[in-house]
Amino acid sequence: MNPFAAIGRGTFALLAEIGAMSLFALRGTFSWASGPFYAREFFSAALRIGFNSLPVVGLTAIFTGAALALNIYDGSLRFNAETFLPQILSVSIVRELGPGFAALMVAGRSSSGMAAELGAMRVSDQIDAMSTLAVDPFKYLISPRILATTIMMPFIVLVADLIGILGGWMVAVFALDFEGATYIRNIDQFLTAEDVGSGLIKAGVFGFLIAVMGCYHGYKSRGGAQGVGAATRSAVVASAVAILASNYVMTSLFVDF
């Protein structure tokens, strides 16, 4: 087989998939605008995503903050900059690690959850049944999930930021002999609204991508339990890749000012 033909076909298929996802995302985001807006579905999705993610996001954040404190201390010691630990740690967390880790954890939980749920509905004809009952599945199933995840993600990340900084603080105070109040004061004087804000904007974008990938793969799944399994896997992989790629793009935009 001609390798160029294979690469061409692959590229073409990828572009077609991205196009289909974009149309899906557009329709999913705006379909509620022509009414009705299913508020119950929205709130239940928001609650599921928010509350259920918090324990796992919190655990991830506290260990990340703690490990990061040790690493930054060890590294900065080499050029006697260890007093800047609070500043470096907090900026790393709010700009990069808080949003990144939280999004990857939520991708693992919610993106796969949405793909599995919608996939099961698809292969058992429940989505088709919904259409015949005069309810648009995009308005009822997709829009509430996309909106809820996009809106909830910044709150989740805010919590992750706080817990991550707390994790760093605990290591600094109890293991590295920092003075607790000074540590907090340093962070407070150093961090800007842009630092935190850019992380929260990232969080919103990540939330959007997580929901779109989860819903898209679930909605399009085919072929019984095996198809649902494949949709779940694709959703997690696709949202992780989308998170990391968009993270780079957004970071390069944010550091430009």
Partner 1 sequence: MTGTPKISIRALRKSFGSKSVLQGLDLDIEEGTSLVIIGGSGTGKSVLLKCVLGLIPPDSGEILIDGVNILKLSSFERARRTREIGMLFQGSALFDSYNVWENVAFRLIHGEGKGRGAAREKAVECLAKVGLAADVGDLQPSELSGGMQKRVALARAIAADPKVLFFDEPTTGLDPITADVINRLIIERVKALGATAISITHDMGSARRIADHIAMIFDGRIIWRGRADEVGASGNPYVDQFVNGRAEGPIKMALRAD
Alpha helices in 31-78 (DSSP H): 39-77
Task: Please report how the helices 39-77 and 85-92 are oriented relative to each other, as an axis angle in degrees rounded to 10.
Answer: 150
Ramachandran bin of 190, using left for φ above 0, alpha for ψ from -120 to 50, beta for the remaining angles: alpha
C-alpha distance from residue 203 to each of 101, 207, 214 (Å): 10, 6, 16
Site for partner 1 in 139-198 (CB under 8 A): 140
Binding status of residue 133 toward partner 1 by CB under 8 A = yes
Q: Quick check: 226 binds partner 1 (CB under 8 A)?
A: no
Which one of 120-128, 174-182, 227-235, 242-250 is the stretch in contact with partner 1 (CB under 8 A)? Answer: 120-128
Cα–Cα distance for residue pair 124/204, rounded to 1 Å? 32
* Residues in binding contact with partner 1, number by CB under 8 A: 17
> Between residue 20 and residue 59, which ones bind partner 1 under the rule CB under 8 A?
36, 38
Local structure of residue 177 (DSSP, 8 states): -
By C-beta, is 131 or 192 nearer to partner 1?
A: 131
> Which CB, 21 or 118, lies closer to partner 1?
118
Q: How far is the CB of 116 from partner 1 (least distance, A)?
A: 13
Nearer to partner 1 (CB atom), residue 72 or residue 114: 114
Residue 17 is a binding residue for partner 1 (CB under 8 A): no
Yes or no: say if 156 and 106 are a contact pair by the CB < 8 Å rule. Answer: yes
Q: How far is the CB of 127 from partner 1 (least distance, A)?
A: 9
